[in-house]
Homo-oligomer: A and B are copies of this chain.
């Protein structure tokens, strides 16, 4: 049995409480939130859980084994560090931290303390993403060539993070979960329509040495909600529409290959279009899957699917996107890429 405390009972907190309540081998002991009205809400629905005003009451509670942090991003590092210092297992909401440096410090600390540090990239636990990973792993798509994601709607403008940090972690975590190759570099452009300098529309290209490319289109200012991702391989392609109630994943027996037309000295491209297959997906709640993964990885000392390393890789791309936007879309090469620098590239290293 793992005793958990949850810090932050805002928009996402109730979902976390409900699912950790339902998780196996887990007991939700207390929830911290500075706002009395939120604690009243908590008590009404979960009278068995103790509400506390201060995060420290959870972090320093000796009866608590694991701390779940669901507060604004800029507070993640400080809270997580304290909890890790106390030897607690920690689950951080996405995005993991405000910077690569913070994430690396936490990862080292968790290793040192021999506790679990995990990030809640809930989407990885959906039937849709599990199915996509399986299709890619089984080579059903052939060599994958691109990922193209659109996540736009009329959304709550955040005050501390831009639209990429708010919306893209979902899609970048899926990218990192499905694609094994490490990205080489990042380009990003965007615009702010307020006077606080925080982008409400932004575009992100992630470049890979192999020729794979990923692109993300995020906006808080679209009149329509779109949650769409294309993953293209040379054998098959996937359309993932998260708003579809029953047909989230469509697998197109569509591909293309090229050869050289010796005679005309040009490239010939062959297309193929065929049947479409809509696999039935697991419908268990993703957040419960995440909660169970966290608890069982603590008990069995394993690495979770949504690991801190994946969480760090998401932050790596986000931090690089910030740098690229500030430099008017210039390419930012990811240090982690560990690749020989390509010639004649005017680059910014991150």
Binding site for B on A (CB under 8 A): 47, 145-146, 148, 150, 152, 154, 156-157, 159, 185, 187, 189-196, 198, 201, 203, 205, 207, 211-213, 215, 217, 219, 221-225, 230, 232, 234, 237-239, 243, 245-247, 250, 252-254, 256, 258, 260, 266-267, 269, 271, 273-280, 324, 327-331, 345-347
Contact = CB atoms under 8 A, between A and B. Distances in A.
Given A154-B254, A217-B148, A189 B191 contact: no
B280 A278 contact: no
Given A267-B194, A328-B331, A222 B237 contact: yes
19 contacts: A154-B256, A154-B273, A157-B258, A157-B269, A187-B329, A189-B213, A191-B212, A201-B213, A203-B205, A222-B230, A223-B273, A224-B252, A247-B276, A273-B280, A275-B279, A278-B278, A328-B330, A329-B330, A330-B346
A348 to B, nearest CB: 10
B275 A278 contact: yes
A230 B223 contact: yes
Contacts of A152: 148, 230
A191 B213 contact: yes
Contact of A159 (B253, B256, B267, B347): B267
A344 to B, nearest CB: 9
B187 A328 contact: yes
Given A222-B232, A275-B280, A277-B275, A194 B258 contact: yes
A314 to B, nearest CB: 20
A97 B10 CA distance: 45
Interface of A is mostly: strand
B157 A267 contact: yes
B215 A217 contact: yes
A115 to B, nearest CB: 32
Nearest to A278: B276
A221 B232 contact: yes
A262 to B, nearest CB: 13
A169 B302 CA distance: 53
A130 to B, nearest CB: 15
